[in-house]
Structure 1
Amino acid sequence: MKQYTLLFSLLLSYFSIFGQNATEKDAPKNIKSIIFKGTTEDQFPVAQLGDPLTLEFDDITASEEDYYYKITYYNYDWTPSSLSKSQYLSGFDNLRITNYENSYNTLQAYSNYRLQIPNNNLSLKVSGNYMLEIYNNYNELQFSRRFVIYKDAVSVGVSIKRTRDFEFLNQKQAVQIAINAGNFQLINPKNEVKVTILQNYYWPSAITNLKPQYTIGKELLYKYDKESNFFGGNEFLNFTTKDLRATSTAIARVQMKELYNHYMYADILRANEPYTYYPDINGDFVVTTQQGEDASRESEYTNVHFKLPYTDVIGLNDVYVFGKFNNYAITDENKMTYNEDTGYLETSIMLKQGFYNYKYVLKTDKDELKYNAIGGNFHFTENNYLVLVYYRNFGDQYDSVIGVGNGNSRNITN
């Protein structure tokens, strides 16, 4: 009887793990400035099958540690796929990253690692959802990042409209999609085709499980009033540290200690302020320096000091500095603390020289993230929307990505 009980427990544990949705693992404190991208400038790793993806990161221990990479394939909903590794990979993974160099002439020493996929050791066979995992020499997972490979089999039109939900008329944006199958054979599109919509390449924002409302010939139309709506948010705040000694409209003063320290002007709560447009890069960051030619190895790390006034809107909620610089993680490093002497919430984050977007988010005692309580919501806000089109025919073992589409709310219409 004990044997059956043990077997049942093991099976239950197995199926529980097998059915879990994959999420990205945050990097430890010594690994910083993770850049993972395809052929576009946006730091979101989506690429056509056969095109290159590049990963770059720094280890500030500067000890030339060995790091290894593994690649895993997932279903549309980020549950583990039944495909074996040989069905989605040509060659081998679990190999050491051999392309790395130490920083040059910097106050903070670091080792800079680079990896390209595909490479001489492996290539990808199928389109769909993948996870890249980086391990240390003790086979301990350091961090992971999702990426998407697609085939350009269908065309995807994306348009951004003002919502028809009158309760949020001035706060939300509606994404409408038109998929033209062309020569691609779709027999039962309501069951075969699934779409995912992301705002500003942020996976937790994803809207999924939308079915086409209309089928006109070979065109699938998604014109939902509410189901494909997103809160507009506000434009991201920004600063640049590419010139180590320069102040700016965002940086009040620079001080040299063990590292350079950049002290920001105090930000304001913008939720009740009029909307103002100014260009941003939708939460992203770009490493750049004026002190050298190779930004990857010659950029300094500096301590950037953020400051936000405390108000009743914040209350007892925690406040975090939020951006792509740490993959939008909510950690102690980017958590603000109240300074009784100044009356401000403050924090300091060590960041590599460059141009950065950021905003402030609230976290309640119920672990709920309120993304726009401080910045506000406006339907005018410029946001980028990515649409991924997944396809699985009857009898197939995996969800392929047959097309991607991009839309921007800069020219939002009614």
Structure 2
Amino acid sequence: MNKHLAFIMLFFSLNSIAQTAPFDNNIYNPAIKTVEFYNTKKEPSFPIVNLNSAEQVQLAFDDLRGGVRNYYYSIEHCDGDWNSSNLSPTQYLQNFTEDKIIDYTYSSATFQKYTHYTVKFPNEYIKPKISGNYILRVYEDDDPTKLILTRRFYVLSTKVTVSGEVVASSDMDKRAHDQKINFQIDYGTLKVQNPNTDIRTWVMQNQRNETGSFTTQPQYIRGSQLIYGDLSTNEFPGGNEFRHFDTRSLKLNSDRVSHIYRDTANSVVLLTDMSRNLPNYTFLYDNDGQFYPLNQDGTDPTIDADYAHMFFSLAAGKASADGSAYIVGKFNDYKLDEHSKLDYDDKGKFYTHLFLKQGVYDYQYVWVDNATKKPDYTFFEGNYFDTENKYQVLVYYHPPAAQWEELVGYVVLSSTQK
């Protein structure tokens, strides 16, 4: 098969996948565990890189089937809403359309055998040509229909300056628990014909897309400055600091561990969690929902950290007839599905167990009431203005007559910055 024909076939197969696969963070094979994706400057930072810079994102994951698989990856440009930009790969890529993952290592001295894969890009094979949102797809046997996982990442070409702050809600009834993000954009000499259509901003809390929101209309315009401070926009529940557990060692109990059993597999029983929806805020150090695979008894947690069956229980004062409880964090992409849903026992507790790699994990519980069918992230956790949260502000620009949307500004704001 000649290279031109192969390129055409890949282009159409990727477009076919784009019509059916969501442009979201997903895992399509249950054997794939512990997916990490971050800017290599800091683990586990937001997966954003500057266009045409030396910055890279790193993807890492474990395959519990062991052995070696033929994994390939490709990327596709998306608009701010995470729909395909419907561009040809030649419009958003500088070189090749796909690459093979060749960096892998076998686990060492673990009950659970696995193969650890890593890849860093942009590289000499995969390099974006334009800024914006991108979806990464990993698939098996050079066949895009055999999806293994998808990840969102961002390529930034800074053309505007962004600044802002996190303040209390202007609504007196919400001041004790809501956090409001006010920010300004200065677009300088950028060709902006209509700020209400050419520029829009996306704000999310702790890198969580499911709770983010777009703002398309500034409160007012002052020269080249766009001021976003409207009373009714960019307001988020403060929530609470994340719960956590620590399994860096499977020899000793940490503060949240009740029992550790080691036989032909590792089992860790955590202390029962209680509702934290209390009148007053209590500080608890957390990692804003992130997780870190670590093993203090080994030398390289990427391959000598073992897996364990983690047993959770929640005494919540709610019955399963009223709704459903879920456990979420970055470790499961905050998915509310059958894998994160808790069961209910005759003692009035919700419970579940998850198969997770050793490390330090943040998590929280979510309630979905049968009547509203909507997730309530504060029902079990509480809701406080004092909670430390980080907010990502992304600025998208649609140039006149362009086919795609660029990412031209980015800033991280903290609720504790003064």
TM-score normalized with structure 1 length: 0.90
In the TM superposition, what whole-angstrom CA distance separates every residue of 1:180-214 from its partner, at most 9, and x where no partner exists? 22454434323211100011101111110332222
The amino acid across from 1:225 in the alignment is L
1:155 aligns with 2:157: no
Cα pair distance change 1:20/1:330, threshold 3 Å: closer
2:77: which partner in 1? 73
- Structure 1 unmatched ranges of 5 or more: 1-13
In the TM superposition, what whole-angstrom CA distance separates every residue of 1:48-86 from its partner, at most 9, and x where no partner exists? 113211100001111322221121111122222132111
Q: Which of 28, 45, 48 is the matching residue for 2:47?
A: 45
1:359: which partner in 2? 364
Residue 173 of structure 1, CA deviation? 0.8
Cα pair distance change 1:19/1:296, threshold 3 Å: closer
1:347: which partner in 2? 352
- Tell me the distance in 2 between the aligned counterparts of 1:106 and 1:273: 44
Q: Please give the residue correspondences for 1:217-236 in structure 2 after superposition, counting only pairs within 5 Å.
A: 217-236=223-242
Which secondary structure does the structure 2 equivalent of 1:156 belong to?
Answer: strand
Residue 322 of structure 1, CA deviation? 0.7
- Tell me the distance in 2 between the aligned counterparts of 1:192 and 1:305: 49
Residue 350 of structure 1, CA deviation? 1.1
1:97: which partner in 2? 101
Which secondary structure does the structure 2 equivalent of 1:410 belong to?
Answer: coil
The amino acid across from 1:88 in the alignment is Y
Q: Which moved more, 1:180-189 or 1:62-71?
A: 180-189
In the TM superposition, what whole-angstrom CA distance separates every residue of 1:309-365 from its partner, at most 9, and x where no partner exists? 14137653111111011111223333221232x542211111111110000012334
Pairs aligned (count): 397
Cα pair distance change 1:21/1:322, threshold 3 Å: closer
Residue 238 of structure 1, CA deviation? 0.6
1:382 aligns with 2:388: yes
Q: Please give the residue correspondences for 1:9-408 in structure 2 after superposition, counting only pairs within 5 Å.
A: 22-38=23-39, 39-49=41-51, 50=53, 51-137=55-141, 139-312=145-318, 315-340=321-346, 342-365=347-370, 367-408=373-414
Contact 1:193/1:389 (8 A) holds in 2: yes
Contact 2:287/2:362 (8 A) holds in 1: yes
Contact 2:318/2:348 (8 A) holds in 1: no
Contact 1:21/1:80 (8 A) holds in 2: no
In angstroms, what is the RMSD of aligned CA positions?
2.2
Moved over 4 A (4+): 17-21
- Tell me the distance in 2 between the aligned counterparts of 1:392 and 1:55: 29
- Tell me the distance in 1 between the aligned counterparts of 2:242 and 2:396: 30
- Structure 2 unmatched ranges of 5 or more: 1-14
The amino acid across from 1:258 in the alignment is T
In the TM superposition, what whole-angstrom CA distance separates every residue of 1:114-135 from its partner, at most 9, and x where no partner exists? 1111122121111001000111
Q: Which moved more, 1:286-295 or 1:313-322?
A: 313-322
The amino acid across from 1:369 in the alignment is P
The amino acid across from 1:206 in the alignment is G
- Tell me the distance in 2 between the aligned counterparts of 1:127 and 1:369: 33
The amino acid across from 2:380 in the alignment is I
- Tell me the distance in 2 between the aligned counterparts of 1:212 and 1:343: 49
Contact 1:76/1:399 (8 A) holds in 2: yes
Which secondary structure does the structure 2 equivalent of 1:197 belong to?
Answer: strand
- Tell me the distance in 2 between the aligned counterparts of 1:318 and 1:54: 35
Residue 20 of structure 1, CA deviation? 10
- Tell me the distance in 2 between the aligned counterparts of 1:21 and 1:32: 19
1:8: which partner in 2? none
The amino acid across from 2:73 in the alignment is Y
Cα pair distance change 1:175/1:19, threshold 3 Å: farther
- Tell me the distance in 1 between the aligned counterparts of 2:208 and 2:410: 16
Q: Which moved more, 1:288-297 or 1:309-318?
A: 309-318
